[in-house]
A and B are shown apart, each in its own frame.
Chain A
Amino acid sequence: MLLEAQNLTFGYKKERRIIDDVTLSIDRGERVALVGPSGCGKSTLSQILAGYIKPQKGMVLWEGKPLPKKGYCPIQLIYQHPEKAINPRWKLGRTLTEAWQPDPVFLEEMGIEPAWMDRYPIELSGGELQRFCIARAMGPETKFLIADEMTTMLDVITQAQIWQLMLQQIEKRQMGMMMVTHNEALAKQICNRIIDFQQLNL
């Protein structure tokens, strides 16, 4: 198993657990969709899986070992709002190369134009910024991507473009992927397994 979650429990308040004893595992090469209604804890679960939040009980295992607390995390999370995930004071070239040096071929595949490197984030659109977020997270040490409503705020054409780029890269590099979405049609199109969050979190 690539990614395993064992008996995860978490709640923002003590008396109310949002995530109650969740166990799940995702294998190599699998593309999994996590679906469920708003506010049920999908985003919280993906943040726990990516190591952003510490669960109150249970643990996340990566290739059989606990997630590293420091250093590069093999599981990278891509947020819903790219404009919040990018430092507004940095030119985009610096954001892109924060963790690794992508080569020009990869950038062309991602649809990132060289002219954007010298711009500030406010000068690009949401879809363009999201490409930077994805490219930034695609370092050689990244083995698994979690896309938390990654394209929800984008129009349909941009959505399709970005998912195409994603799938191309994921297949090329044999990465695992989990997406969080409301859109079941999109989930069926992209993933080979769909998990209903409410059945997982009884």
Chain B
Amino acid sequence: MRRIRRKKNQRKRTIYLILLIGILLLLLVIAGRFLSPEQYGPDYNEKKLTPSIQHLFGTDYLGRDMFARTIKGLSNSILIGTLAAGFSACVALVLGILSATIGGLVDKIISYLVDLCMGIPHLVLLMLISFMMGRGLRGVIVGIALTHWPNLTRVIRGEVLQIKNMQYVKVAEKLGKSKIQIAFQHILPHVIPQFIIGLILLFPHAILHEAGVTFLGFGLSVDTPAIGIILSEALKHIATGMWWLVFFPGMMLVMVVMMFDQLGEHVRRLLDPSSARE
């Protein structure tokens, strides 16, 4: 009895954690949406202030409130991440399933594309695509969407191949189940958790790459409040002792990335029956 009760608590705790992280991230996005441009715009009366109650993260050399800029930047990052990771994950799901079920030439071509994309350093490819698309928001989104599918495609292809050869799938065939029934009853439920977890774990990648490519100057334009811009600007001023310009935005970026990572990990625990008892 006691063991069963503890198990339920563990599952409940996982669900609460997922809800908590989800709500925090959602709040961040909503807060960012509703910030008015004045709040993160320049105010020359309040330049280079250290962190205080009024300006939690201090202000920069143009008197912009860093807290508001960071929130706005993260909110943008998450939205970019949603678009790019969602697109990437859907591409991966379709290509992975096609590759494993049709096989033959289709499988060879898809596997070759995966190897090709994985062979080129990620950031270089991202910079190239972003540059080609004319930088800016569009460049970053397209770049991230087009470079994040190969890993998940490989995972899903492998999963489908493995499940197709399981004894219980073959038994189902002999019990008179059609290919479509097997795909929906056996294969898809097995791949969907992988897909959801893969999707969530793509977020931190997408966000970090967005920040990275922007930091290097191939991403969002200089006046948009983005973590990459904030960090690259702050780097010029760190020598003058303005540590808060790097510290707080950097911390927030790491925290958001870790929150997504934890979200993925907990969803995995919830969806996988064999680790549900841990």
A45 to chain B, nearest CB (A): 16
Residues in chain A near residue B171, CB distance under 8 A: 77, 79, 85, 136-137
**Chain B residue at minimal CB-CB distance from A121:** B273
Contacts A79-B167, A85-B167, A87-B186: A98 and B172 contacting too (C-beta < 8 A)? Answer: yes
B104 within 8 A of A: no
Q: How far is the CA of A73 from the CA of B170 in the complex (A)?
A: 12
A50 touches B (CB below 8 Å):
yes
Q: Would you call A86 and B175 a contact (CB within 8 A)? A: no
- A50 and B174: CB pair below 8 A? yes
Cβ contacts under 8 Å, B116 to chain A = none
Q: Is the CB of A51 within 8 A of B174?
A: yes
A122 to B275, CA, bound (A): 11
Residue B168, interface by CB 8 Å: yes
A142 to chain B, nearest CB (A): 9
Chain B residue with Cβ nearest A78:
B171
Asked whether, in the complex, the Cβ of A122 is within 8 Å of the Cβ of B174, the reply is no
Q: Is the CB of B190 within 8 A of A73?
A: no
Contact residues, B76-109 vs A (CB, 8 A) = none
* Minimal beta-carbon separation of B76 from chain A (angstroms): 38
Partner of A85, one of B168, B176, B190: B168
Pair B167/A88 contact, Cβ less than 8 Å: no
Q: A89-B189, A89-B190, A122-B273 are in contact. Are A72 and B176 (CB under 8 A)?
A: yes
Please state if B167 and A71 are interface contacts (CB–CB under 8 Å): no
B166 touches A89 (CB 8 A): no
Which residues from 142 to 180 on chain B have a C-beta closer than 8 Å to any C-beta of chain A?
166-168, 170-172, 174-178
A95–B186 Cα gap in the complex (Å)? 11
Q: How far is the CA of A136 from the CA of B177 in the complex (A)?
A: 13
Interface flag for B54 (CB, 8 Å): no
Number of interface residues, chain B, beta carbon within 8 A: 16
Residue of B nearest to A94 (CB): B185
Q: Would you list which residues of chain A between 121 and 164 have a CB under 8 Å from chain B?
A: 122, 136-137, 139
Contact check, A98 vs B190: say whether CB atoms are below 8 A apart.
no
Interface: A116 (CB within 8 A)? no
Q: Are B168 and A86 in contact (CB under 8 A)?
A: yes
B176 to A120, Cβ gap below 8 A? no
Interface residue from A70, A72, A84, A99 paired with B168 (Cβ < 8 Å): A84
Chain B residues with Cβ below 8 Å from A106 are none
**A99:B190 contact, CB within 8 angstroms:** no
Query: What distance in Å separates the Cβ of A9 from its nearest Cβ neighbour in chain B?
Result: 22
A99/B175 in contact, CB under 8 A: yes
Instruction: Check B240 for interface membership: any CB of A closer than 8 A.
Output: no
Q: Whole-angstrom distance between the alpha carbons of A120 and B168 in the complex? A: 15
Does B45 lie at the interface of the complex (its beta carbon under 8 Å from any beta carbon of A)?
A: no
Q: Any chain B CB within 8 A of the CB of A76?
A: yes
The 8 tightest CB contacts between A and B, nearest first, are A72-B176, A99-B175, A85-B167, A73-B174, A71-B176, A84-B167, A87-B168, A120-B273
Interface residues of A (CB under 8 A from B): 50-52, 70-73, 76-77, 79, 81, 84-89, 95, 98-99, 120, 122, 136-137, 139
Beyond A85-B168, A122-B274, 10 additional contacts (C-beta under 8 Å) are A50-B174, A51-B174, A70-B178, A71-B176, A72-B175, A87-B168, A99-B176, A99-B177, A136-B175, A137-B171
13 A–B pairs (Cβ distance < 8 Å), ordered by A: A50-B174, A52-B170, A70-B178, A72-B176, A76-B175, A84-B167, A89-B189, A95-B168, A98-B175, A99-B176, A122-B273, A136-B175, A139-B175
